[in-house]
Chain A
């Protein structure tokens, strides 16, 4: 049984206007799965639907065999799925520490347990320790992205949904982000990554899907997709 199983999913923001059309995909435990596609293909909508922010019209989303389509976002995160949203969406007036602390809100545990969790995240992202008492809005773009990911990890998820983590970052930082995603896989997280940077996203992926106008038009291993002539032409700019 796959960790995440999506079957014949239709979803969108307005009734009768599906953004996602008949999507089927799966994420196995310990995998990095990359979904590539151009702007407006429905990549973010896909992740938002899994996380419960967008309600599906029809179709199934199963997490560890259990349907999660009717659950609100704050319950889905409790089950072990964490969405790291596009555009960072930090609580900008709160400090780095407060943002991290709230990331553990769903754990319903005591303060010292959450602080232990924060110290662990600070080991993974040393810069966040330095910035602990600063407001999130004062961080650089790269630091904010790290904080968003760290906050997403605070709920101790099994499955991490990463929405365009490279967006708006300098090339050097982008490499760091992809390096980090590989690292997270080694740490045991399963990852569903959505990216415009097709080459890098497929490079680190065990499996990939190509999303075009809300439909999956191709799937295969990361390597297969990178060698596919259509993918090369449309997404890799070769």
Chain B
């Protein structure tokens, strides 16, 4: 029994990571219709940046983390400005082209990391001290606890933004109807930029949170990014709450499955759940059918 509770706790932490990625993918998708397949790789780049800041330039951890979040936001915005803006928001509906462009960016990120930091995995400095916290008879590493605290804080902030701020409403308005949004004075491109900034920040935070768990390598963002993407699909693309639920669901199922199955099967579990849910409800758990209006 305590085994199950123990894995549940670990699953919650991983689930929170997937949920953050799903949030980031969702917010960018909601305004731009772009599925950001480079999300995991942006997380990886940002994590490497914080790593270099700390180990090579001896920047204090807190400052290094803040700087790498800023870097994640800047790179994400750069992606929007250099690659996406010239192609134009009028072409946003050409999903297949965007898919290829984003996969291309993902490959570029991975190879850049390989050139700068080398292909071998490295240990991330443990900025959270290495102790355990025991609640009842469940042991959580401080790392897992931090993941949960930070992730939940971010979820609360984003929910608050969507509910109560002008920016949150403008983001939703832009995602619902760009033409009507521009008619009331919203510049859709600017709102899309904001969502790329938010997404980039989320990517960086996610990377730094999992850095100590997964080791640093150019590949570290690939699998976790794909699972975050699955979480977004599972919850229903475009639904922030759906993505969060999807993330926790995948994290917990993976952890529970690891009690019975070898760890190598974890990805199969994630994608298995995804396929199963999409077979039954193609719009995802919380997704609604989008009726395209002429």
Q: Is the CB of B177 within 8 A of A91?
A: yes
Q: Which residues from chain A contact B166 at a C-beta distance below 8 Å?
A: 101-102, 105, 111
Q: Is the CB of A94 within 8 A of B172?
A: yes
Interface string of B159-201 (1 = CB under 8 A from A): 0000000100110110011011111111100000000000000
Q: Is the CB of B172 within 8 A of A82?
A: no
Taking the complex as formed, is A160 at the interface, i.e. its CB lies under 8 A from any CB of chain B?
no
> How far is the CB of A109 from the nearest CB of chain B, in Å?
11
Q: Is the CB of B183 within 8 A of A77?
A: yes
Roughly how many angstroms separate A77 CA and B180 CA in the complex, as a whole number? Answer: 11
Q: Which residues from chain A contact B169 at a C-beta distance below 8 Å?
A: 91, 94, 98, 101-102
Number of interface residues of A (CB under 8 A): 30
Partner of B184, one of A87, A106, A111: A106
Q: Is the CB of A74 within 8 A of B185?
A: yes
> How far is the CB of B178 from the nearest CB of chain A, in Å?
10
From A82, A89, A155, residue with most partner B Cβ within 10 Å? A89
Taking the complex as formed, is A90 at the interface, i.e. its CB lies under 8 A from any CB of chain B?
yes
Taking the complex as formed, is A72 at the interface, i.e. its CB lies under 8 A from any CB of chain B?
yes
For A106, give the chain B residue with the smallest CB separation: B185
From B185, B186, B293, residue with most partner A Cβ within 10 Å? B185
Q: Which residues from chain B contact A83 at a C-beta distance below 8 Å?
A: 183
Interface string of A58-88 (1 = CB under 8 A from B): 0000000000000011100110001101010
Q: Which residues from chain A contact B185 at a C-beta distance below 8 Å?
A: 74, 77-78, 105-107, 155
> How far is the CB of A135 from the nearest CB of chain B, in Å?
11
Q: Is the CB of B183 within 8 A of A102?
A: no
Q: Which residues from chain B contact A102 at a C-beta distance below 8 Å?
A: 166, 169-170, 173, 181, 184, 186
- Count how many pairs of residues, one from A and one from B, have CB atoms less than 8 Å apart in the complex: 72
Taking the complex as formed, is A103 at the interface, i.e. its CB lies under 8 A from any CB of chain B?
yes
Taking the complex as formed, is A53 at the interface, i.e. its CB lies under 8 A from any CB of chain B?
yes
**Contacts A98-B169, A101-B169 hold; do A77 and B184 have CB atoms under 8 A apart?**
yes
Roughly how many angstroms separate A152 CA and B170 CA in the complex, as a whole number? Answer: 16
> How far is the CB of A94 from the nearest CB of chain B, in Å?
6
Taking the complex as formed, is A51 at the interface, i.e. its CB lies under 8 A from any CB of chain B?
yes
> How far is the CB of A20 from the nearest CB of chain B, in Å?
18
Interface string of A150-185 (1 = CB under 8 A from B): 011011000000000000000000000000000000
**Contacts A101-B166, A105-B166 hold; do A73 and B173 have CB atoms under 8 A apart?**
no
Q: Which residues from chain A contact B181 at a C-beta distance below 8 Å?
A: 91, 102
For B187, give the chain A residue with the smallest CB separation: A74
Q: Is the CB of A82 within 8 A of B187?
A: no
Roughly how many angstroms separate A106 CA and B166 CA in the complex, as a whole number? Answer: 12
Main secondary structure of the interface of B (DSSP, over half): helix
Q: Is the CB of A105 within 8 A of B184?
A: yes
Roughly how many angstroms separate A78 CA and B187 CA in the complex, as a whole number? Answer: 12
Taking the complex as formed, is A39 at the interface, i.e. its CB lies under 8 A from any CB of chain B?
no
Roughly how many angstroms separate A122 CA and B293 CA in the complex, as a whole number? Answer: 29
Q: Which residues from chain A contact B176 at a C-beta distance below 8 Å?
A: 91-94
**Contacts A74-B185, A105-B185 hold; do A91 and B179 have CB atoms under 8 A apart?**
no
> How far is the CB of A164 from the nearest CB of chain B, in Å?
15
Q: Which residues from chain B contact A72 at a C-beta distance below 8 Å?
A: 182, 187
Q: Which residues from chain B contact A152 at a C-beta distance below 8 Å?
A: 183-184
Partner of B186, one of A74, A82, A90: A74
From B177, B183, B185, residue with most partner A Cβ within 10 Å? B183
Roughly how many angstroms separate A151 CA and B187 CA in the complex, as a whole number? Answer: 17
Roughly how many angstroms separate A93 CA and B240 CA in the complex, as a whole number? Answer: 14
For B174, give the chain A residue with the smallest CB separation: A91
Q: Which residues from chain B contact A53 at a C-beta distance below 8 Å?
A: 179, 182-183
Q: Is the CB of A105 within 8 A of B186?
A: yes
Interface string of A103-120 (1 = CB under 8 A from B): 101110001000000000
Q: Which residues from chain B contact A73 at a C-beta distance below 8 Å?
A: 179, 182-183
Q: Is the CB of B172 within 8 A of A93?
A: yes
> How far is the CB of A65 from the nearest CB of chain B, in Å?
22
> How far is the CB of B90 from the nearest CB of chain A, in Å?
11
For A98, give the chain B residue with the smallest CB separation: B169
Q: Is the CB of A82 within 8 A of B183?
A: yes
Roughly how many angstroms separate A42 CA and B83 CA in the complex, as a whole number? Answer: 35
Q: Is the CB of A91 within 8 A of B173?
A: yes
Q: Is the CB of A74 within 8 A of B173?
A: no
Roughly how many angstroms separate A53 CA and B188 CA in the complex, as a whole number? Answer: 13
Partner of A151, one of B172, B179, B184: B184
Interface positions of A (Cβ within 8 A of B): 51-53, 72-74, 77-78, 82-83, 85, 87, 89-94, 98, 101-103, 105-107, 111, 151-152, 154-155
20 intermolecular pairs with C-beta atoms under 8 Å apart: A53-B183, A72-B187, A73-B179, A74-B182, A74-B184, A74-B185, A74-B186, A74-B187, A89-B177, A90-B180, A94-B172, A94-B173, A94-B176, A101-B169, A102-B184, A103-B184, A105-B170, A106-B184, A106-B185, A152-B183
